[in-house]
Amino acid sequence: MKNRIILHIDMDYFFAQIEERENPQFKGKPVVVGADPKEGKGRGVVSTANYIARKYGIHSAMPISKAYQLCPKAVFLPVNHELYQKVSENIMNIVKKYSPRFELVSLDEAYLDLSETVVKPLLWQSYYDSYKKGEVLAKKLKKEIFKKEKLTSTVGIGPNKLIAKMASVEAKPDGLLVIKPNQIQKFLNPLDVEKIPGVGPKTAEVLRKLGVNKIKELSKIKKSKLKEIFGKVGKDIADKARGIDKSEVCPKTEVKSVGKEHTFDKDTRDPEIIFPTFEKIIKEVWQELQRGDFSIQGVSVICRFQGFETKSKQKSFEKAKSNLEFLEKTAKKLLLELLLKNQNLVRLIGLRVKVEE
């Protein structure tokens, strides 16, 4: 369908918001969910922080020791994955009701293609008018989630997945932003180039050297020129800077990924510490996966060495496989490859498995 209306929803400070809901005494305080800070000596990372803690500069993936330094009085909580998984299921069961074309992105994030449900019944109206109906639906969805789960979310609506996602990022927290096709460039222009999904710090640095900071400037560069500089992805960047994204909301399968990692108390090379820990991680990931019917699509192993040097190795599979033995064999092989390639002490190991349900 040419004229589409896509909705993107993402829960606000998801893990930390659930913790606030479960423990009302934390409301109004900075809350950080992640590894144990051990009074500044902890070695894991932050999973997420509420918006009060973010004011201190704390964010996801930051070393927990740094977070402790920035705000020692914050409430530090361990990750209760089982609880967040359950809440996620409840929320996604609500989201799914709003369109049969549903795509789960992560525990707290999903897309809906509203084209069939919103645009089609309104052929007698203009495509632009139907955005109003999309907005009404989004408000209803946010309200229903809040009523049933007592959690706030943010929704973005646009003519494609890219714009819907970027709109929700801009509208956070507890927001709703609708971008109609004729508003795309105006919406994108003032944003930094890094706001484009897929434009990381390295790409942004190259662009900055060319004097390109905002999407407005980027959108004026010819596609062929970006292709020259960045190769194949240059074409993709050129499209995104113009708000073009043809990717479909994938309704058939739900791809999700489950991951766990562990930071050792002391950097180590001891196989009797590394491998039993890794086996425990594999078992935990497996337990979490077993909640549904699934096939393994990819296995990725991460190793962080002394000095924070982080390496990962992954393997993808075409054909569905889903047994623990297979996962153990694949994951251990990848870990071994990483360890053989790098002789440094190991700080952290982790496993992520992508499955299709």
**Does 109 engage in binding with Mg ion (CB under 5 A)?**
yes
CA angle (299, 305, 306) in 5-degree steps: 165
Specify burial of residue 343 (Cβ count, 10 A radius: 0-12, 13-18, 19+). exposed
What does the alpha-carbon distance between residue 178 and residue 303 come to, in Å, rounded to a whole number?
Answer: 41
Q: Which of 13, 26, 127, 187 binds ligand TTP (CB under 6 A)?
A: 13
**Does 15 engage in binding with ligand TTP (CB under 6 A)?**
yes
Q: Using CB under 6 A, which residues numbered 161 to 190 contact ligand TTP?
A: 172-173
CA angle (70, 166, 163) in 5-degree steps: 175
Q: Which of 19, 20, 108, 236 binds Mg ion (CB under 5 A)?
A: 108
3-state secondary structure string across 42-110? CCCEEEEECHHHHCCCCCCCCEHHHHHHHCCCCEEECCCHHHHHHHHHHHHHHHHCCCCCEEEEECCEE
Considering beta carbons, is residue 170 or 356 the nearer one to ligand TTP? 170
Distance in Å, CB of 259 to ligand TTP, minimum: 9
On whether the CB atoms of residues 7 and 95 are closer than 8 A, the answer is no
**Does 19 engage in binding with Mg ion (CB under 5 A)?**
no
**Does 61 engage in binding with ligand TTP (CB under 6 A)?**
yes
Q: Which of 21, 36, 56, 60 binds ligand TTP (CB under 6 A)?
A: 60
Provide the total of helices (H) and of strands (E) in the chain, helices listed first: 13, 12
**Does 254 engage in binding with ligand TTP (CB under 6 A)?**
no
CB atoms within 10 A of CB 241: 26
Phi, psi (rounded to 5 degrees) for 243 = 75, 20
Instruction: Give CA torsion, residues 157, 47, 93, 119, to 10 deg.
Output: 10
Binding mask 118-157 for ligand TTP (x = CB under 6 A): ----------------------------------------
**Does 259 engage in binding with ligand TTP (CB under 6 A)?**
no
- Annotated active-site residue 109? The verdict is yes
Considering beta carbons, is residue 11 or 166 the nearer one to ligand TTP? 11
> Given the rule CB under 5 A, which of 106-114, 195-203, 237-245, 253-261 is the region that contacts Mg ion?
106-114
Q: Using CB under 6 A, which residues numbered 27 to 56 contact ligand TTP?
A: 47-48
> Given the rule CB under 6 A, which of 7-15, 183-191, 216-224, 331-339 is the region that contacts ligand TTP?
7-15
Q: Which amino acid is at 6?
A: I
Among the listed residues 19, 20, 103, 109, the single catalytic one is 109
Residues that bind ligand TTP (CB under 6 A): 10-15, 47-48, 60-61, 107-109, 172-173
Residues assigned a catalytic role: 109
